[in-house]
Structure 1
Amino acid sequence: MITKQPIILLNFTGVYDYEVFASSPCITHVDCRDISGVDCYCDEEARAELRRRLAPYPAKALHFIDSGDFHYLTEYWVSRLCEPFSLIVFDHHPDMQQPQWEGVVSCGGWVADVLRNNPFVCNIIVVGASDELIAQIPDALREKIVFYSQSEIDHHRAWPSKAGSLIHEPVYISIDKDVLRKQDAVTDWSNGDMTLLQLQAVLRIIYAHERVIGVDITGECSASLDYLSELKSAAVDNRANEELMRMICQHDCG
């Protein structure tokens, strides 16, 4: 596989040791297994260490960021962008919960953090979130986000008519594989019902209409399963990661 785009893999749990795609020589590995205070919530000390360790690596890249417990790292990557951008998030969960502790970022609230704190974000578009979870978001936040819910994806409503007309700047894409059905991704959070083919179809539309400047992929399976379960689950995620990586790199080189 030939790619011009850097591929950065952040290893927090060791789960990538079970996924063959991660052995590609194109991928730069960053070992984060020794950092404490990062699982689901990231405290100030851990945040400072992550920023120090990740500083050498570009935001304009393809990033693999382990399980959904670390999805808050998208907020870090887009904080490094110094130009107006739109953020497109594929996620079964809207990730807009209010923080429980001041100064702590979480995997469940990072989208709201980007909305509040990033001066360059022009639009945030969340694709594939549960209708039920969307309804639980406070009105003041929900009105500032464009949602493509699971039901809209299922009914094949056109992307350009709703989201494409809003975007006039480069886009950063964040993919949590829990947006996919269980046959296509095994995660440590509840799954949506999008197929891998549906996800790829929407991504192709985005790449056809927008300039993509960065992507991250999260949603790996738990690394605390027994060995045989781990191998079986990792094989499902490996297939999704491999196909997404190949597709993204082809567009990058295209």
Structure 2
Amino acid sequence: MNKPIVIMNFTGVYDYESFSHNPKFAWIDCTHLQGVECYCDKDGASALKKVIENYPAEGIHFIDSGNYHYLTKFWTDKIHQPFSLIVFDHHPDMQPPLFKEMISCGSWVEDVIKTNPFLKKVIIIGPSEQLIKSVAPQYQNQVEFYSEQSLEQDTTWKKFSAEVISTPIYISVDKDVLNPQSAATNWDQGSFTLEELEQLLSIILKHEQTIGIDICGECPATLNIFEEEKEAQLDSAANKELLKFFLSTQSHAFQQAFKK
């Protein structure tokens, strides 16, 4: 099976991002789905699993705003071999869920840990020290964190470069890890530049086998059309750069999918 580039369009924002207007990309229209924004209920989860059932975890998946970051769980549920999850995010996404019967954009990492028997390791890169401290104690030993602040130190970069991951990996990138000059999101953002993010990704991709990738962090529409156009152009440029970066490290099939 080919490794597709998938666009999951919930908010309509990709309509305004020129990078996505490639006829070889697989578009999945999710604008009609109910019970899926931020919190995903049972019916919403069932509908989402159905719309992605014919697509593999292998590939690059654009999953709209950070409100839908929980989709990483649904994509990684398709992996049936030991793997590690690498998450770039300004938030750990390990908050205690408000509704136990729902998966949310703020608690999905915990859900993956609890439910996926193939998951061997989780590494989260870019959250603030304060948010890391809020993670429940029972997960502190199961998840390795590289905070935004710690990566300013040479010793942490050396530790990160020497990181040993003994399984194939799935990478999830929330663009809120980037500074506001590099991307526009609907959550508070970190301080990484695109170049710094790609440096970190390069360290991982140089040594590890990548199963699949997803990217979120789009900025949904506002009432200010001029601001919307500016944000869409900024995010489109960031997505295009990340896509080219990932394609340069991946197979010929990926590269052909990106060419018109």
Give the shorter-chain TM-score range. over 0.9
TM-score (ref. length: structure 1): 0.95
Structure 1 pair 217–157 and aligned structure 2 pair: CA distance change class (3 A):
farther
The Cα offsets for residues 44-101 of structure 1, whole Å up to 9 and x where unpaired, read as 0011011111101111110000000000000000011000000000000000011111
- Alignment-derived partner of residue 116 in structure 1: 114
Task: Decide which of 77, 80, 84 is 2:78's aligned counterpart.
Answer: 80
Task: Decide which of 162, 174, 177 is 2:175's aligned counterpart.
Answer: 177
Partner letter of residue 151 of structure 1? Q
Partner letter of residue 238 of structure 2? A
- Alignment-derived partner of residue 44 in structure 1: 42
Taking the aligned partners of 2:161 and 2:84, their CA distance within structure 1 comes to: 10
Partner letter of residue 97 of structure 1? Q
Partner letter of residue 146 of structure 1? E
- Alignment-derived partner of residue 11 in structure 1: 9
The Cα offsets for residues 165-201 of structure 1, whole Å up to 9 and x where unpaired, read as 4411100000000000010010000001111100011
Structure 1 pair 12–209 and aligned structure 2 pair: CA distance change class (3 A):
same
Give the fraction of aligned pairs with identical amino acids, expressed as a percent: 44
For the pair 1:210 / 2:218, whether they are aligned, the reply is no
Q: 1:138 Cα deviation (Å)?
A: 1.6
Paired residues of 1:95 and 1:107 also in contact (CA < 8 A)? yes
Q: 1:113 Cα deviation (Å)?
A: 0.6
Give the 3-state SS of the residue equivalent to 2:126 in structure 1. strand
Structure 1 pair 250–26 and aligned structure 2 pair: CA distance change class (3 A):
farther
Paired residues of 1:123 and 1:166 also in contact (CA < 8 A)? no
- Alignment-derived partner of residue 96 in structure 2: 98
Structure 1 pair 157–16 and aligned structure 2 pair: CA distance change class (3 A):
farther
Q: Number of paired residues?
A: 251
Taking the aligned partners of 2:60 and 2:41, their CA distance within structure 1 comes to: 25
Q: 1:164 Cα deviation (Å)?
A: 5.0
Taking the aligned partners of 1:92 and 1:77, their CA distance within structure 2 comes to: 21
Paired residues of 2:6 and 2:26 also in contact (CA < 8 A)? yes
TM-score (ref. length: structure 2): 0.93
Considering only aligned residues, what root-mean-square deviation do their CA atoms show, in Å?
Answer: 1.5
The Cα offsets for residues 92-142 of structure 1, whole Å up to 9 and x where unpaired, read as 000001111122000000001111111001100000011110011121112
Structure 1 pair 80–193 and aligned structure 2 pair: CA distance change class (3 A):
same
Taking the aligned partners of 1:109 and 1:150, their CA distance within structure 2 comes to: 20
- Alignment-derived partner of residue 51 in structure 2: 53
Q: 1:19 Cα deviation (Å)?
A: 0.5
Paired residues of 1:5 and 1:249 also in contact (CA < 8 A)? no
Q: 1:253 Cα deviation (Å)?
A: 2.7
Task: Decide which of 131, 145, 149 is 1:151's aligned counterpart.
Answer: 149
- Alignment-derived partner of residue 255 in structure 2: none
For the pair 1:242 / 2:240, whether they are aligned, the reply is yes
Task: Decide which of 194, 197, 211 is 1:196's aligned counterpart.
Answer: 194
- Alignment-derived partner of residue 27 in structure 1: 25
Give the 3-state SS of the residue equivalent to 2:250 in structure 1. helix
Q: Which consecutive unaligned segments of at least 5 residues does structure 2 have?
A: 253-260
